[in-house]
Amino acid sequence: MSRTSTQNILVSTTPRLEGWEIREYLGAVSAHVVAGTNIFSDIAASWRDVFGGQSQSYKKQLEQINEQVVDELREEASARGGNALVGLRIDHDQISGQNKEMFMVTASATAVRAQSSSKQNSAGRQEGEKAVTAREVSTEEQIVRLNKKAQHGDLKLKENRWRFLIENQVADLAGFIQNTVIETLDGLVGRPTGNRKKQLENARDYFLSIPEDSAKDNLYNMTSHDESRVVDWAVGVLEDGNLLDLGRIETMLKGDFYEEQKPALEILTRVDKPYYDKEDLGRLGALKSMIENGFGKKGKVIEVEVEESGMFSSDTKKKEVWQIKDSARNPMDQKYCSETGLDIYGFGKTETRPDEALGVLKTKIAALNRRFERS
């Protein structure tokens, strides 16, 4: 039995396919995914401001979830030898408990094998797909001009250009936008205001509009920056877009402690995926094991000689102190280094620690297990 590429499988919400004849019904197929926490409440909030930046990003999230579940139907139809799906239906079921919200997206349809009733029309459609409109050409010309300006270092991001980049999802300038964000946050004291604030808002909307892989490439790269404001901004955008990437987190947990492992913990506690499948349970469990076994003391305890003076004589004794990153030596009863602000495990007072990330992972794994057991 030959299999049709999943990308070529037709999908219809009606029982028929216009211009196609159904030759064989191959049975009902269904699929489901579990979406990330709190997305419904966030989406509801975003609709209160139809023209706000969030409405576009959450619309994109819903589209991604629906595309994922329909792709699973296509896989099943292809496995049965079908080349089309009819009667598509998508349902959303909200799940609440323990102050958490998730929802199940379920899709069902009938897999069929169909044949085009008009090869001539099909060929005509294929020819039509090769045509490019004048508007599309004009858009590409504008992108070429913006790229040249960026390469020459004279691209000024005015409001109309931001709108163009966002509306047309122009990923070409993602690196330039990344540098713009870093420059905007560099040396900033207090909260951004005025033009800086607007630039950061536009940059956020930009990264949430471009293809997901391009956004992740730049945002995850920014989480390794040595400026904490840049890291926090990047994690915030990842959080807004539900752009958790378990594969990237695994790579980060194998990398440098300060530049990759610590940001990975922050991302795990704040960022979600738009949906989860059963394979994610294994990935989450693997990350849990890596965190349980991968973190320990980053500082060292050393002995130093201390001279103690008495009334008639002085004596030299050995005393233990601790040190991190070859900085100041600290008394054992002092929790944070006087120079770096880090404790002996390498964490600052407000930074996310392994036990916090483990708590989030354990709760998420338990919630997913409960949901998949009932499905």
At residue 47, does pLDDT exceed 50? no
Name the most confidently modeled range: 191-200, 287-296, 303-312: 287-296
Res. 246 pLDDT band, cuts 50 70 90: very high
pLDDT of residue 98: 57
DSSP state of 84: E
pLDDT of residue 330: 95
CA distances from 151 to 154, 173, 183, 202 (A): 8, 10, 17, 21
31 Cβ contact partners less than 8 Å away, ≥ 6 residues apart: 69, 70, 72, 73, 76, 106, 107
pLDDT mean across residues, the chain? 85
Nearest to 267 by CA among 298, 226, 224, 297: 224
The average pLDDT across 232-245 equals 95
C-alpha neighbours within 13 Å on the C-beta side of residue 244:
25
326 sits in the region (left: phi over 0; alpha: psi -120 to 50; else beta) called left
The average pLDDT across 198-214 equals 93
Lowest mean pLDDT among 73-87, 173-187, 221-235: 73-87
Res. 122 pLDDT band, cuts 50 70 90: very low
Please report, as a single letter, which amino acid is at residue 34: V
C-alpha neighbours within 13 Å on the C-beta side of residue 91:
7
At residue 53, does pLDDT exceed 60? no
**Residues 241, 242, 243: CA angle, nearest 5 degrees:** 85
The average pLDDT across 59-72 equals 81
334 against 15, higher pLDDT: 334
The average pLDDT across 3-26 equals 80
pLDDT of residue 311: 59
The average pLDDT across 49-69 equals 66
DSSP state of 52: S
The average pLDDT across 115-139 equals 66
Res. 341 pLDDT band, cuts 50 70 90: very high
At residue 24, does pLDDT exceed 70? yes
pLDDT of residue 181: 96
Which residues on neighbouring strands pair with residue 321, listed in sequence order? 302, 331
pLDDT of residue 312: 59
Rounded Cα distance between 362 and 375, Å, is 20
Asked whether the beta carbons of 345 and 296 are under 8 A apart, the reply is: yes
Asked whether the beta carbons of 241 and 61 are under 8 A apart, the reply is: yes
pLDDT of residue 50: 45
C-alpha neighbours within 13 Å on the C-beta side of residue 374:
10
pLDDT of residue 375: 64
Q: Note the residue count of the chain.
A: 375
Lowest mean pLDDT among 75-89, 159-173, 193-207: 75-89
Res. 120 pLDDT band, cuts 50 70 90: very low
pLDDT of residue 99: 61
**Helix H or strand E segment including 27:** strand 20-35
pLDDT digits (tens, 9 = 90+) for 250-263: 999 999 999 999 99
Nearest to 181 by CA among 215, 151, 136: 215
Asked whether the beta carbons of 222 and 182 are under 8 A apart, the reply is: yes
Which residues on neighbouring strands pair with residue 100, listed in sequence order? 97
pLDDT of residue 190: 82
pTM: 0.66
Lowest mean pLDDT among 40-49, 162-171, 294-303, 338-347: 40-49
Torsion angles phi and psi, residue 26, rounded to 5: -105, 5
pLDDT of residue 128: 46
